[in-house]
Structure 1
Amino acid sequence: MAALLEYLPLILFFAVYKFVDIYWATGVLIVTSSIQLGYHHFAHGKIATRHWIFFAIALVLGGLTILFQDEQFIKWKATVIYAVLAVSLIISRYIFKKNLVEKALIGVLKSANEKGDTDAPLNIELPKHICEQLNLMWVAILAFIAGLNIYIAYNFSLDFWVNFKVFGLMGITFVAILITMAKIYKYLPEDQS
């Protein structure tokens, strides 16, 4: 359910674009993003900062798209989000001395452990050099995606860009997740791997 809710705005954006147009799709994206915020508020009692940021970007760029009837604004949404994520990883690591990729990985592994059949607490130590490599890898991937999105937005048709936004970005992200899993696999406890 949670995974579906994460991708619901994107799925509905794609469907409405295919059946109506980019402006209706943008409106649906904004509405479903706000519903997503409401769900997180009522289900978890709080809304994660990333959801607020993603909603604000969708609201501003989507609102400008609808207001000016110009698809160029919504095309920037993915670029802005991925660039913000890349910059956040850099600033967090080198200014605040926190590795957000490491923190996210530990959180995901602990969550998976809590949902598993084992009662044993998760005891995982990822080597710092692996976490540093993963942080830099994700910075590079996110920056690449940000640049690639805007390149495709201005050099290909709107149809091609929408398909890339939905399937291409998801594919690149999936490959990055697989690479991340491969790099940490040997450090997982036996029952987690």
Structure 2
Amino acid sequence: MTTDPDTAPAELVVLLDEDGHPAGTQDKRTVHHADTPLHLAFSCYLFDDDGRVLLTRRALHKATFPGVWTNACCGHPAPGEDLEDAVRRRVHQELGIDVHDLRLLLPAFRYRAEMDGVVENEMCPVFAARVGGPVTPDPDEVEEVAWEPWEPFRGAVLDGSREVSVWCREQVQQLPADPASAPAASPATLPPAAR
């Protein structure tokens, strides 16, 4: 049985001031529009034991960036939710898989992007993790998935020959050359709302 999105409980996102402090909450269903307020999010890159990265194509009916290829998972921590717990929760919800060796790589990543009049405006710490076992995507979130060797994927993103989301492109530019084995970054520069 499918839940009616209009009667489902509100999923709240954490709004931020320009310094990354909490500035309230808003229903996720109403936060993304032409003038989206700055809010807290995260991105995660998932790797298998062969060093391949999992890419996902966003569901075609999503309100933001439908049908766009991007990193494995993005999401929003709930108010008061630990950021790593939020990553684990969302990866499991969207991809039906558990992560291990979860590491923070880009604590201070921030971006703004627009597609079809809808804006993303996020402070979005970036993580990497390892996974094993089959991926079972939620069709409400993910249209399709693909595993690709990291180095050719990274090279194609950097030279512009691979189309991915704006945030994925900017993240790949800033990530270590080998994020699957890079050491964790210090959480000291996380937005205050995420510490």
TM-score (norm 1): 0.28
Which entry has the higher C-alpha Rg, 1 or 2?
Answer: 1
Greater per-residue helix proportion: 1
Larger RCO: Structure 1 or Structure 2 (Cα < 8 Å, ≥ 6 residues apart)?
2
TM-score (norm 2): 0.28
Greater per-residue strand proportion: 2
